[in-house]
Amino acid sequence: MSIIPNGNTAKVTVPELLQRKSSAADSPKKKITCLTAYDYPTARLMDEAGVEVVLVGDSVAMVALGYDSTLPLTLDEALHHTKAVRRGVKRALLVADMPFGTYHGDVNESLKNAVRFVKEAGAEAVKVEGGERRLELIARLTEAEIPVMGHVGLTPQSVNAMGGYRVQGKTAGGAEQLLRDARAVEAAGAFSIVLEGIPRELAAEITKTLRIPTIGIGAGPDCDGQILVLHDMLGLTFQEPPKFARRYANVGEVISQAVREYCADVQSGNFPSDAESYHTPKAAKGRKTIFLAS
């Protein structure tokens, strides 16, 4: 597989990301680049291409496992994918999304689940959805030395409560609540926060208000960094991408075309060719014994 090295080999860490926060007093800092990954080859490709934060998103449920929402994803499934991604990532910071139901009850149980991502799967941080309601949990995880990435706005695990995947914070009251949520996440000790599906003006205000970096997805260009779901940007989903997801390649079409050509070659006898076949050594010709050919 061809890999285009990025040349930058310094390990990305939580303290380094905190330094990347742009403040009014600063000259603008370089934006933080994040993408989701769910398996070894894509994780390795994106790590070597220079992405700084790799998130094993619970979006794996929809884009790689074929579920209708992120809700059915189990802890074991999420751990399995995080382990595969861990093997492909050397430089980027590896963040694991905690699945729905693994951090919504007892805080001790939630802490145990988060510890599994670090201890068994090699994650360097975990991500949890929700604002003010997650104050105690985020504080507890941070106290246990597990860096936390927050996530507010259009939080897909709240799809039933929200009544669908809708842009959040469009009313004055909604915007105020989101500001409170983002402040609570920061106050609880999170090192960064994803802002998803909110007006760019509100994202800009939250970004200005917080001391931790904001990572936007469908939140406009003023956040401290950006994240996309890999399958959206590569054209590997079976629907039109959302408005905010720029399509950088059409890998679905490349795979489809390659498979069509393969089927045609097999059926026409064009594959495999003689050069793609092993041959019986001359000395063995005429014998009954089967030799391993070169």
**Considering the rule CB under 6 A, would residue 229 count as an interface residue with ligand KIV?**
yes
**Looking at 35, 89, 154, 227, which residue binds ligand KIV (CB under 6 A)?**
227
What's at 278, amino acid-wise? Y
Using CB under 6 A as the binding rule, the residues of this chain from 187 to 216 that contact ligand KIV are 194, 196
**Considering the rule CB under 6 A, would residue 102 count as an interface residue with ligand KIV?**
no
- Distance between CA 89 and CA 113 in Å, rounded? 22
Name the nearest CA neighbour of 156 among 127, 118, 115: 127
**Considering the rule CB under 6 A, would residue 53 count as an interface residue with ligand KIV?**
no
- Distance between CA 197 and CA 231 in Å, rounded? 18
For ligand KIV, the closer CB: 55 or 184: 55
- Residue 97 C-beta: closest distance to ligand KIV, Å: 5
Cβ distance 153 to 197 under 8 Å? yes
List the x/- string, 17-46, binding to ligand KIV by CB under 6 A. -------------------x----------
For ligand KIV, the closer CB: 71 or 284: 71
What is the residue whose two structure tokens read 């001790």? 108
- Residue 290 C-beta: closest distance to ligand KIV, Å: 50
DSSP assigned state of 60:
H
- Residue 247 C-beta: closest distance to ligand KIV, Å: 16
> C-alpha 276: how far from its chain's center?
38
Q: Which one from 48, 124, 129, 196 is the annotated catalytic residue? A: 196
Q: 223: which residues sit within 8 A by CB, 6+ positions away?
A: 31, 195, 203, 207, 213, 214, 215, 216
List the x/- string, 115-144, binding to ligand KIV by CB under 6 A. ------------------------------
Q: Which stretch binds ligand KIV (CB under 6 A): 52-60, 107-115, 161-169, 282-290?
A: 52-60
Name the nearest CA neighbour of 204 among 226, 186, 183, 219: 219
For ligand KIV, the closer CB: 104 or 277: 104
For ligand KIV, the closer CB: 245 or 284: 245
**Looking at 57, 99, 150, 216, which residue binds ligand KIV (CB under 6 A)?**
57
Q: What torsion do the CA atoms of 143, 112, 135, 173 make, to the nearest 10 degrees?
A: 150
For ligand KIV, the closer CB: 162 or 284: 162
For ligand KIV, the closer CB: 57 or 291: 57
Catalytic residue list contains 120 = no
- Distance between CA 174 and CA 154 in Å, rounded? 12
Q: 202: which residues sit within 8 A by CB, 6+ positions away?
A: 169, 175, 178, 179, 219
Count of residues that interact with ligand KIV, criterion CB under 6 A? 12
Give the catalytic positions in this structure. 196
